[in-house]
Structure 1
Amino acid sequence: MKNRKEINYEEMIRTLAKDPRVRRMAAFPQHGGVSTLEHAESVTRMSFRINAALHLNANPKTLLYGGMLHDYYLYDWHHHAGYLHGLTHPEAALERAEKDFDLPEGAKQVIRTHMWPLTLFHMPMSREAGIVCLADKVSAVWETLRKRGRS
Protein backbone atom coordinates (compact mmCIF):
# COMPACT_ATOMS: atom_id res chain seq x y z
CA MET A 1 0.00 0.00 0.00
CA LYS A 2 1.29 3.45 -0.89
CA ASN A 3 1.97 5.88 1.88
CA ARG A 4 0.48 9.36 1.87
CA LYS A 5 3.68 11.06 0.66
CA GLU A 6 3.90 8.90 -2.47
CA ILE A 7 0.31 9.75 -3.37
CA ASN A 8 0.99 13.45 -2.83
CA TYR A 9 4.14 13.31 -4.95
CA GLU A 10 2.27 11.63 -7.78
CA GLU A 11 -0.41 14.27 -7.52
CA MET A 12 2.21 17.03 -7.61
CA ILE A 13 3.80 15.50 -10.74
CA ARG A 14 0.45 15.04 -12.48
CA THR A 15 -0.59 18.61 -11.70
CA LEU A 16 2.60 20.16 -13.09
CA ALA A 17 2.57 17.78 -16.09
CA LYS A 18 -0.90 19.11 -17.03
CA ASP A 19 0.40 22.68 -17.33
CA PRO A 20 0.19 23.62 -21.05
CA ARG A 21 3.75 24.96 -20.98
CA VAL A 22 5.09 21.68 -19.59
CA ARG A 23 2.91 19.65 -21.99
CA ARG A 24 4.94 21.09 -24.88
CA MET A 25 7.78 18.75 -23.84
CA ALA A 26 5.67 15.82 -25.06
CA ALA A 27 6.37 16.88 -28.66
CA PHE A 28 10.13 16.31 -28.39
CA PRO A 29 11.92 12.93 -28.30
CA GLN A 30 14.42 12.25 -25.55
CA HIS A 31 15.88 8.72 -25.34
CA GLY A 32 14.52 6.01 -27.60
CA GLY A 33 10.76 6.28 -27.94
CA VAL A 34 10.45 8.35 -24.75
CA SER A 35 9.37 11.98 -24.97
CA THR A 36 11.09 14.71 -23.00
CA LEU A 37 7.94 14.99 -20.85
CA GLU A 38 7.92 11.25 -20.08
CA HIS A 39 11.62 11.45 -19.22
CA ALA A 40 11.04 14.43 -16.91
CA GLU A 41 8.21 12.61 -15.12
CA SER A 42 10.42 9.53 -14.72
CA VAL A 43 13.31 11.57 -13.33
CA THR A 44 10.99 13.37 -10.91
CA ARG A 45 9.41 10.12 -9.66
CA MET A 46 12.83 8.56 -9.19
CA SER A 47 14.03 11.68 -7.37
CA PHE A 48 11.18 11.41 -4.88
CA ARG A 49 11.90 7.68 -4.42
CA ILE A 50 15.63 8.28 -3.83
CA ASN A 51 14.81 11.04 -1.36
CA ALA A 52 12.39 8.82 0.57
CA ALA A 53 14.52 5.67 0.48
CA LEU A 54 17.64 7.43 1.72
CA HIS A 55 15.78 9.73 4.16
CA LEU A 56 17.47 12.79 2.65
CA ASN A 57 14.71 15.28 3.55
CA ALA A 58 15.10 17.20 0.30
CA ASN A 59 12.69 20.02 -0.46
CA PRO A 60 9.74 18.47 -2.38
CA LYS A 61 8.95 21.65 -4.35
CA THR A 62 12.59 21.94 -5.46
CA LEU A 63 12.64 18.27 -6.49
CA LEU A 64 9.37 18.74 -8.38
CA TYR A 65 10.36 21.84 -10.36
CA GLY A 66 13.98 20.79 -10.79
CA GLY A 67 13.05 17.31 -11.97
CA MET A 68 10.18 18.31 -14.22
CA LEU A 69 12.00 21.25 -15.83
CA HIS A 70 15.59 19.98 -16.00
CA ASP A 71 15.18 19.37 -19.75
CA TYR A 72 12.78 22.23 -20.50
CA TYR A 73 14.65 23.38 -23.61
CA LEU A 74 11.77 22.63 -26.04
CA TYR A 75 13.59 21.46 -29.16
CA ASP A 76 14.52 18.14 -30.74
CA TRP A 77 18.12 17.84 -29.63
CA HIS A 78 18.80 15.13 -32.21
CA HIS A 79 18.54 17.77 -34.95
CA HIS A 80 19.19 21.01 -33.10
CA ALA A 81 22.35 20.52 -31.06
CA GLY A 82 23.62 16.99 -31.66
CA TYR A 83 26.59 15.98 -29.52
CA LEU A 84 26.99 19.43 -27.95
CA HIS A 85 23.50 19.15 -26.50
CA GLY A 86 24.78 17.59 -23.28
CA LEU A 87 26.94 20.63 -22.62
CA THR A 88 24.52 23.36 -23.68
CA HIS A 89 21.00 22.29 -22.78
CA PRO A 90 21.09 22.88 -19.00
CA GLU A 91 21.49 26.63 -19.57
CA ALA A 92 18.88 26.61 -22.37
CA ALA A 93 16.43 24.75 -20.10
CA LEU A 94 17.11 27.12 -17.20
CA GLU A 95 16.68 30.22 -19.33
CA ARG A 96 13.33 29.01 -20.69
CA ALA A 97 12.11 27.76 -17.29
CA GLU A 98 12.93 31.11 -15.67
CA LYS A 99 10.88 32.90 -18.35
CA ASP A 100 7.85 30.62 -17.97
CA PHE A 101 7.78 29.80 -14.23
CA ASP A 102 8.36 31.33 -10.84
CA LEU A 103 11.03 28.82 -9.87
CA PRO A 104 12.05 28.04 -6.33
CA GLU A 105 15.68 29.20 -5.97
CA GLY A 106 16.95 25.66 -5.42
CA ALA A 107 15.34 24.45 -8.66
CA LYS A 108 17.57 26.78 -10.66
CA GLN A 109 20.66 25.02 -9.31
CA VAL A 110 19.09 21.62 -10.02
CA ILE A 111 18.44 22.51 -13.67
CA ARG A 112 21.87 24.10 -14.19
CA THR A 113 23.83 21.18 -12.68
CA HIS A 114 21.88 18.08 -13.71
CA MET A 115 24.41 17.12 -16.42
CA TRP A 116 27.40 16.94 -14.08
CA PRO A 117 30.07 15.55 -14.50
CA LEU A 118 29.77 16.36 -18.23
CA THR A 119 29.35 20.03 -17.29
CA LEU A 120 32.46 19.96 -15.13
CA PHE A 121 32.17 23.46 -13.67
CA HIS A 122 28.47 23.17 -12.80
CA MET A 123 28.55 20.66 -9.96
CA PRO A 124 25.47 19.83 -7.86
CA MET A 125 25.89 21.64 -4.55
CA SER A 126 22.59 20.78 -2.85
CA ARG A 127 20.97 17.49 -1.95
CA GLU A 128 18.14 18.23 -4.40
CA ALA A 129 20.60 18.84 -7.25
CA GLY A 130 22.52 15.65 -6.41
CA ILE A 131 19.33 13.60 -6.29
CA VAL A 132 18.01 14.87 -9.64
CA CYS A 133 21.45 14.49 -11.25
CA LEU A 134 21.56 10.83 -10.17
CA ALA A 135 17.93 10.17 -11.14
CA ASP A 136 18.55 11.71 -14.58
CA LYS A 137 21.51 9.39 -15.24
CA VAL A 138 19.64 6.27 -14.14
CA SER A 139 16.55 7.21 -16.18
CA ALA A 140 18.60 7.99 -19.28
CA VAL A 141 20.42 4.66 -19.12
CA TRP A 142 17.16 2.78 -18.55
CA GLU A 143 15.40 4.53 -21.45
CA THR A 144 18.35 3.94 -23.79
CA LEU A 145 18.67 0.26 -22.86
CA ARG A 146 14.93 -0.26 -23.28
CA LYS A 147 15.21 1.16 -26.80
CA ARG A 148 18.08 -1.22 -27.65
CA GLY A 149 16.09 -4.14 -26.29
CA ARG A 150 13.27 -3.36 -28.74
CA SER A 151 15.60 -3.15 -31.77
Structure 2
Amino acid sequence: METTRHYTATVYVVSDGAVALHEHDGLGKWLPPGGHVDRDELPHEAGLREVREETGIDADLVAERDDIGSPTVDPLPKPRHFQLADVNVHGEFVGHQHVDLVYYARADTREIDPAEGEQPADAWRWFTSEDLAATDALDPDVAETGARAIETVSG
Protein backbone atom coordinates (compact mmCIF):
# COMPACT_ATOMS: atom_id res chain seq x y z
CA MET A 1 0.00 0.00 0.00
CA GLU A 2 1.03 3.56 -0.61
CA THR A 3 1.28 6.27 2.03
CA THR A 4 -0.73 9.37 1.16
CA ARG A 5 0.82 12.69 2.17
CA HIS A 6 -0.83 16.11 2.35
CA TYR A 7 0.74 19.48 3.08
CA THR A 8 -0.65 21.24 6.13
CA ALA A 9 0.02 24.49 7.96
CA THR A 10 -0.24 24.94 11.72
CA VAL A 11 -0.08 28.23 13.62
CA TYR A 12 0.69 28.65 17.32
CA VAL A 13 -1.18 31.87 18.12
CA VAL A 14 0.14 33.79 21.13
CA SER A 15 -1.66 36.57 22.98
CA ASP A 16 -0.64 38.11 26.29
CA GLY A 17 1.78 35.31 27.18
CA ALA A 18 -0.44 32.36 26.32
CA VAL A 19 -1.04 30.11 23.32
CA ALA A 20 -4.46 29.06 21.98
CA LEU A 21 -5.18 25.32 21.78
CA HIS A 22 -8.41 23.40 21.24
CA GLU A 23 -9.45 19.87 21.96
CA HIS A 24 -9.78 18.50 18.42
CA ASP A 25 -13.10 16.71 17.86
CA GLY A 26 -11.85 13.91 15.65
CA LEU A 27 -8.43 13.31 17.19
CA GLY A 28 -9.21 13.88 20.87
CA LYS A 29 -5.97 15.86 21.24
CA TRP A 30 -5.21 19.46 22.19
CA LEU A 31 -3.92 21.21 19.07
CA PRO A 32 -3.35 24.71 17.69
CA PRO A 33 -5.28 25.93 14.65
CA GLY A 34 -4.23 24.46 11.35
CA GLY A 35 -5.23 22.40 8.38
CA HIS A 36 -4.63 21.39 4.80
CA VAL A 37 -3.01 23.74 2.31
CA ASP A 38 -5.45 24.22 -0.58
CA ARG A 39 -4.17 23.93 -4.15
CA ASP A 40 -4.36 27.70 -4.70
CA GLU A 41 -2.71 28.67 -1.39
CA LEU A 42 0.77 29.19 -0.08
CA PRO A 43 1.43 27.49 3.27
CA HIS A 44 1.52 30.69 5.37
CA GLU A 45 -1.74 31.84 3.76
CA ALA A 46 -3.38 28.51 4.62
CA GLY A 47 -2.20 28.81 8.23
CA LEU A 48 -3.64 32.29 8.64
CA ARG A 49 -6.89 31.23 6.95
CA GLU A 50 -7.21 28.34 9.36
CA VAL A 51 -6.59 30.68 12.31
CA ARG A 52 -9.38 33.01 11.09
CA GLU A 53 -11.82 30.15 10.46
CA GLU A 54 -11.14 28.23 13.67
CA THR A 55 -10.71 31.14 16.10
CA GLY A 56 -12.02 34.29 14.39
CA ILE A 57 -8.68 35.97 15.14
CA ASP A 58 -6.70 37.97 12.59
CA ALA A 59 -3.18 37.07 13.67
CA ASP A 60 0.17 38.38 12.45
CA LEU A 61 2.86 35.86 11.62
CA VAL A 62 6.14 36.16 13.47
CA ALA A 63 8.36 34.81 10.70
CA GLU A 64 11.57 35.72 8.96
CA ARG A 65 11.91 35.98 5.21
CA ASP A 66 15.05 35.48 3.19
CA ASP A 67 16.49 38.59 1.58
CA ILE A 68 17.13 36.79 -1.70
CA GLY A 69 14.68 37.38 -4.51
CA SER A 70 14.36 38.44 -8.11
CA PRO A 71 11.63 39.54 -10.50
CA THR A 72 10.50 35.90 -10.63
CA VAL A 73 11.28 34.79 -7.05
CA ASP A 74 9.61 36.04 -3.87
CA PRO A 75 10.87 35.01 -0.43
CA LEU A 76 8.14 33.47 1.72
CA PRO A 77 7.71 33.58 5.51
CA LYS A 78 9.78 30.77 6.99
CA PRO A 79 8.05 28.21 9.17
CA ARG A 80 9.58 27.71 12.62
CA HIS A 81 9.29 23.95 12.30
CA PHE A 82 8.87 21.48 9.44
CA GLN A 83 7.38 18.18 10.58
CA LEU A 84 6.03 14.86 9.38
CA ALA A 85 3.00 13.65 11.34
CA ASP A 86 1.51 10.16 11.14
CA VAL A 87 -2.26 10.54 10.94
CA ASN A 88 -3.61 7.14 9.95
CA VAL A 89 -1.61 4.19 11.29
CA HIS A 90 -2.52 0.54 10.72
CA GLY A 91 -0.10 -1.64 12.68
CA GLU A 92 3.29 -0.94 11.16
CA PHE A 93 1.85 0.67 8.03
CA VAL A 94 1.22 4.44 7.92
CA GLY A 95 -1.63 5.15 5.51
CA HIS A 96 -1.69 8.94 5.76
CA GLN A 97 0.79 11.61 6.82
CA HIS A 98 0.82 15.38 7.09
CA VAL A 99 3.87 17.33 5.95
CA ASP A 100 3.32 20.20 8.36
CA LEU A 101 4.77 23.70 8.17
CA VAL A 102 4.50 25.19 11.66
CA TYR A 103 4.36 28.96 12.22
CA TYR A 104 4.14 31.30 15.21
CA ALA A 105 1.81 34.30 15.26
CA ARG A 106 0.84 37.23 17.48
CA ALA A 107 -2.74 38.19 18.29
CA ASP A 108 -4.06 41.33 19.95
CA THR A 109 -7.04 39.53 21.48
CA ARG A 110 -7.96 36.33 23.26
CA GLU A 111 -11.57 36.49 22.10
CA ILE A 112 -12.40 33.27 20.25
CA ASP A 113 -15.23 33.54 17.71
CA PRO A 114 -15.08 30.56 15.33
CA ALA A 115 -16.72 30.53 11.91
CA GLU A 116 -19.88 28.53 11.41
CA GLY A 117 -19.17 24.82 11.27
CA GLU A 118 -15.99 25.06 13.36
CA GLN A 119 -15.61 23.83 16.92
CA PRO A 120 -17.26 26.20 19.43
CA ALA A 121 -15.39 28.82 21.43
CA ASP A 122 -15.60 26.75 24.61
CA ALA A 123 -13.45 24.03 22.97
CA TRP A 124 -10.55 26.51 23.08
CA ARG A 125 -8.25 27.35 25.98
CA TRP A 126 -5.32 29.74 26.41
CA PHE A 127 -2.29 27.97 27.90
CA THR A 128 0.55 29.86 29.59
CA SER A 129 4.05 28.36 29.70
CA GLU A 130 3.29 27.23 33.23
CA ASP A 131 0.04 25.56 32.10
CA LEU A 132 1.88 23.77 29.29
CA ALA A 133 4.48 22.41 31.72
CA ALA A 134 1.95 21.42 34.38
CA THR A 135 -0.40 19.28 32.29
CA ASP A 136 -0.04 15.81 30.83
CA ALA A 137 -3.09 16.33 28.60
CA LEU A 138 -0.88 17.53 25.72
CA ASP A 139 1.38 15.61 23.38
CA PRO A 140 5.00 16.52 24.21
CA ASP A 141 5.58 18.19 20.83
CA VAL A 142 2.54 20.45 21.30
CA ALA A 143 3.63 21.49 24.80
CA GLU A 144 7.22 22.17 23.71
CA THR A 145 6.26 24.05 20.55
CA GLY A 146 3.67 26.08 22.46
CA ALA A 147 6.28 27.08 25.05
CA ARG A 148 8.74 28.07 22.31
CA ALA A 149 6.05 30.09 20.55
CA ILE A 150 5.23 31.99 23.74
CA GLU A 151 8.92 32.68 24.39
CA THR A 152 9.53 33.84 20.81
CA VAL A 153 6.44 36.01 20.42
CA SER A 154 6.41 37.45 23.96
CA GLY A 155 10.19 37.61 24.32
TM-score (norm 2): 0.29
TM-score (norm 1): 0.29
Higher normalized helix content (fraction of residues): 1
